C-alpha cells in the first residue's frame, strides 16, 4: 500500500559526522511506490533531493511506469537508476501482481494453507533498498578510481526472487523437506486474550516451557521440529493442543514459564504503539574510526564495482550471510569465518549434491576459513585476516564481539581502513527488547499487524521478512561505509538491524497512524481468487472490480481472459516454486549452480 506522505523526518544522528552522499544531489521521478524508500534512504545518507519532477498521487494502484533516480555532483559523474515492477507486458504491474508471480504469496500463505498476499509493499521496499545499493556501488567504484557503472536497473520481480531464494532452493533439492509443509504455527493466545510470539533456539528450553504449562509430552516432542524449521519452511504444523494449552493460562503465568525455562515470549504490539515510540532514527548508523587508507591499491575491473575488495564475514543464519552474498555478487571476494568442523547449517536439509540447498542460496561462491573464536590463537588469526580485508561483517549476539576483543576499536587497531559492520536485532533502541530474531521483531514492532488485513488476526509472517530485508539493509550500510571511507580517509563502523528494516517496511503504515487514519489494509486485501486449477491475483487497483465477477468453475486461463476482457489487470499466482524456472513473466532466468541448486538472477543490472 503506497503513500505519498513525506516520511517521518526526525532522525537521531550525530551532527558532526559526515555522510557519504554529502554535496551530492538527486533528481527523482516516477511513481512514489517504487521510489519512496530509495529517496528516503538517499536523503538520509546526505543526498539533496530535488523532487520537482516527482509523480504525484497515492494509493495502492497499478504503477505501470518506471521510477527514475539520478545521483551526481561533487566531482562524481551522474549515475542513473531505473526501477520497475517487471518486464513490460509481463503482467507484473504492481505490488500484488509481483508478489503473485514471484512466489511470495505462496510462501507467506503456507501457514494459512493457501496463497495470501502481504499487506505491506514488501517488494517495493526491497526494490528501493536494492536501488540504493546499486547507486552506492557505482559511486564506490568511481571513488576508487574506476569508471564504474553509469546505469542501474532494479525490478520488483527480481527482488521477489531474492526474497524467496531459500525456499526456491529447497524446492529444487535432491530430497524432500525435513518437515511437512502444512498450515499452522505461532502466535499463541493466553487465557486473558493476549496474542504473543514464542521464541527459543534450544530444544531443552522448548520442552521445559511446555511441561511447565502442562502440555502432553507427545505434542511437545512432535512440535519441536516444525517449530525449529519454521524459519526454513514458513510454516509450523504442530499439534493444535499446544494452542489449547496456552489458552488455559494467563500471560503472566506464561511469562513465568518462559523465564524459568530460558524461552522468551513477546506480546504482539500494535502499529499505534510502534508509532508512539518510534524515534525516527535512521535504519543504520555510520561512525568514523581511525584515519587510514587501504593497504594496497586495488584496480577496479569490469567484473563488478567491488572487484578487488575483500569482505570477511562471520555470519549465521540469514541476515549477515545474505548481506555478504550480495557484496559478493557486486564483485567482492568474500571469506567466510566458520567454526571448527564447518558451518553446521551446511548439513541442513534438504540437500543438493550433499550440501544444504538453503545454505547454498546464501553462501555459494564464498571462500571459507575455520576459526575457533574462543581460542586466543585463532582470534589472532582472525585479526590477521581483518588486517588485509576491507570489510569485517558479523551478526554475533550483542556484546560477544566486545567480550572477545573483536569489536570495531580492536580490529581498527590492526586495520585503520577497515569498514566494520554489525547486523543485529535492535540497535540498542528498544528498552527491555526480547531476543532479536525475525519473528520476535515482527511481533514487537507491529509488523505482525501490518501484514494482515483488518478482518484477520495479527500474526507475524512465517516467511523471514525481516531477516531478508535486514540483510539488504546490511549490504546498503556496508556500501555507504565504503563510500564514506573513500571520501574521508577514515575507517568506518556501520550498524544495521532488523528493527531498522521493520521501520523501513512500516513507513507508510506508521505515517497513516500519525495522520489518524486506519493503518491496516482493508478486509480481504490481496486475497487471491480461487479457480478450478489454481489461483489468480488481480492488481490492487482492479481487485474490487474483479471481485464482482463470478469466476467459480473457471480454469485460470478462462478467469484471466474474463477479467482482461473487461480491462482488468490480473495474473496467475505461482503456487509451486519449481515452476519459476520456466516462467516467461520473469525479467531474468533462474539457473543452476555446480551442485544443481537453483540460482536466482542478480537483483540489479549494472551498465
Backbone angles phi, psi at 207, to 5 degrees: -65, -45
> Are the C-beta atoms of residues 464 and 164 closer than 8 Å to each other?
no
Beta strand segments in 182-222, E: 188-189, 195-199
Reading the block at residue 485, the C-alpha cell is 571511507
Determine phi and psi for 286, rounding to 5 degrees.
-130, 130
Cell of 385: 585476516
For residue 157, CA distances in Å to 87, 97, 137, 309 come to 9, 9, 21, 29
| Catalytic option among 25, 473, 527, 566 | 527
Q: Is 352 helix (H, G, I), strand (E, B) or coil?
A: strand
Whole-number Å distance between alpha carbons of 454 and 318? 30
Q: What is the pLDDT of residue 291?
A: 86
Place of cell 504442530: 238
Could you give the CA distance from residue 61 to residue 557 in angstroms, rounded to a whole number?
23
**Residues 4-34: b if buried by 16+ CB within 10 A, e if exposed:** bbebbeeeeeeeeeebbbeebebbbbbbbbb
Cβ of 161: how many Cβ atoms within 10 Å?
28
Strand order in the sheet with 151-155: 48-50, 25-29, 67-73, 76-84, 151-155, 604-606
Name 606's bridge partners: 152
Alpha-carbon torsion, ordered 123, 26, 138, 79, to 10 deg: 110
d(CA 542, CA 550): 15
Those residues whose C-beta lies under 8 Å from the C-beta of residue 326, and which sit 6 or more positions away, are: 133, 471, 472, 475, 603
Q: Classify each residue of 165-188 as buried b or exposed e, where b means 16 or more C-beta atoms within 10 Å of its C-beta.
A: bbbbbbbbbeeeeebebeebbbbb
Of 176, 112, 116, 131, the closest CA to residue 38 belongs to 131
So what's the pLDDT on residue 4?
Answer: 38
- pLDDT tens for each residue of 418-477: 999 999 999 999 888 999 999 999 999 999 999 999 999 999 999 999 999 999 999 999
Angstrom distance (rounded) from CA 337 to CA 342: 9
Neighbours of 302 (CB within 10 A): 12
Q: Is the dihedral of CA 134, 278, 196, 432 positive or negative?
A: positive
Residues of the chain with confidence (pLDDT) below 70:
1-17, 51-65, 293-303
- At 140, is the secondary structure helix, strand, or coil? helix
Residue 490 is among the residues annotated as catalytic for this protein: no
Amino acid at each position: 500500500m503506497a503513500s505519498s506522505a513525506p516520511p517521518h523526518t526526525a532522525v537521531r544522528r550525530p551532527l558532526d559526522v559526515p555522510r557519504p552522499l554529502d554535496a551530492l544531489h538527486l533528481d527523482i521521478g516516477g511513481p512514489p511506490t517504487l521510489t519512496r524508500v530509495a529517496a528516503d534512504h538517499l536523503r538520509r545518507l546526505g543526498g539533496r533531493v530535488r523532487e520537482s519532477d516527482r509523480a504525484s498521487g497515492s494509493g495502492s494502484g497499478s504503477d505501470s511506469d518506471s521510477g527514475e533516480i539520478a545521483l551526481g555532483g561533487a566531482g562524481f559523474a551522474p549515475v542513473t537508476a531505473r526501477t520497475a515492477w517487471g518486464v513490460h507486458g509481463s503482467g507484473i504491474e504492481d505490488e500484488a501482481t509481483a508478489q503473485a508471480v514471484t512466489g511470495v504469496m505462496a510462501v507467506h500463505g503456507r501457514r494459512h494453507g493457501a496463497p495470501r498476499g502481504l499487506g505491506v509493499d514488501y517488494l517495493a521496499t526491497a526494490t528501493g533498498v536494492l536501488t540504493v545499493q546499486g547507486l552506492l556501488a557505482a559511486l564506490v567504484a568511481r571513488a576508487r578510481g574506476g569508471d564504474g557503472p553509469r546505469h542501474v536497473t532494479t525490478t520488483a520481480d527480481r527482488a521477489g526472487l531474492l526474497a524467496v531464494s531459500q525456499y526456491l532452493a529447497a524446492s529444487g533439492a535432491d530430497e524432500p523437506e525435513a518437515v511437512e509443509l502444512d498450515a499452522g504455527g505461532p502466535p499463541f493466545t493466553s487465557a486473558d486474550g493476549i496474542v504473543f510470539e514464542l521464541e527459543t533456539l534450544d530444544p531443552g528450553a522448548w520442552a521445559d516451557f511446555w511441561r511447565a504449562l502442562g502440555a502432553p509430552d507427545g505434542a511437545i516432542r512432535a512440535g519441536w521440529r516444525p517449530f525449529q524449521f519454521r524459519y526454513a519452511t514458513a510454516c509450523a504444523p504442530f499439534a493444535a493442543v499446544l494452542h489449547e494449552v496456552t489458552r488455559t493460562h494467563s500471560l503472566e503465568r506464561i511469562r513465568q514459564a518462559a523465564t524459568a525455562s530460558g524461552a522468551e515470549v513477546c506480546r504482539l504490539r500494535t502499529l499505534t504503539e510502534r508509532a508512539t515510540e518510534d524515534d525516527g532514527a535512521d535504519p543504520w548508523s555510520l561512525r568514523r574510526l581511525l584515519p587510514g587508507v587501504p593497504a594496497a591499491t586495488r584496480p577496479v575491473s569490469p567484473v563488478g564495482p567491488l572487484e578487488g575488495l575483500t569482505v570477511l564475514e562471520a555470519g549465521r543464519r540469514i541476515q549477515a550471510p545474505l548481506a555478504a552474498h550480495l557484496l559478493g555478487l557486486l564483485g567482492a571476494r568474500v571469506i567466510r569465518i566458520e567454526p571448527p568442523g564447518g558451518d553446521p547449517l551446511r548439513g541442513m536439509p534438504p540437500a543438493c549434491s550433499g550440501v544444504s540447498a538453503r545454505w547454498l542460496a546464501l553462501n555459494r561462491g564464498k571462500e571459507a576459513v575455520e576459526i575457533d573464536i574462543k581460542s586466543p590463537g585463532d582470534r589472532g588469526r582472525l585479526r590477521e585476516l581483518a588486517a588485509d580485508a576491507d570489510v569485517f561483517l558479523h551478526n554475533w549476539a550483542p556484546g560477544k564481539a566486545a567480550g572477545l576483543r573483536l569489536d570495531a576499536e580492536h580490529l581498527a587497531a590492526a586495520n585503520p581502513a577497515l569498514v566494520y559492520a554489525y547486523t543485529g536485532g535492535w540497535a540498542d533502541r528498544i528498552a527491555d527488547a526480547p531476543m532479536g530474531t525475525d519473528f520476535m521483531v515482527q511481533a514487537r514492532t507491529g509488523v505482525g499487524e501490518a501484514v494482515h488485513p483488518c478482518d484477520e488476526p495479527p500474526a507475524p509472517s512465517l516467511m523471514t521478512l525481516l531477516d531478508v530485508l535486514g540483510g539488504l539493509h546490511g549490504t546498503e550500510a556496508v556500501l555507504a561505509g565504503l563510500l564514506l571511507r573513500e571520501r574521508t580517509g577514515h575507517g568506518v563502523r556501520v550498524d544495521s538491524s532488523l528493527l531498522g528494516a521493520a521501520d523501513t517496511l512500516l513507513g507508510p503504515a506508521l505515517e497513516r497512524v500519525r495522520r489518524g487514519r486506519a493503518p491496516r489494509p482493508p478486509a480481504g486485501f490481496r486475497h487471491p481468487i480461487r479457480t478450478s486449477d489454481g489461483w489468480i491475483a488481480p492488481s490492487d487497483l482492479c481487485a474490487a472490480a474483479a471481485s464482482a465477477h463470478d469466476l467459480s468453475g473457471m480454469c485460470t486461463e478462462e478467469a484471466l481472459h474474463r477479467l482482461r476482457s473487461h480491462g482488468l489487470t490480473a495474473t496467475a499466482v505461482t503456487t509451486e516454486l519449481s515452476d519459476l524456472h520456466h516462467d516467461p513473466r520473469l525479467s531474468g532466468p533462474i539457473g543452476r549452480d555446480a551442485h544443481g541448486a537453483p540460482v536466482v538472477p542478480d537483483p540489479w543490472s549494472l551498465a
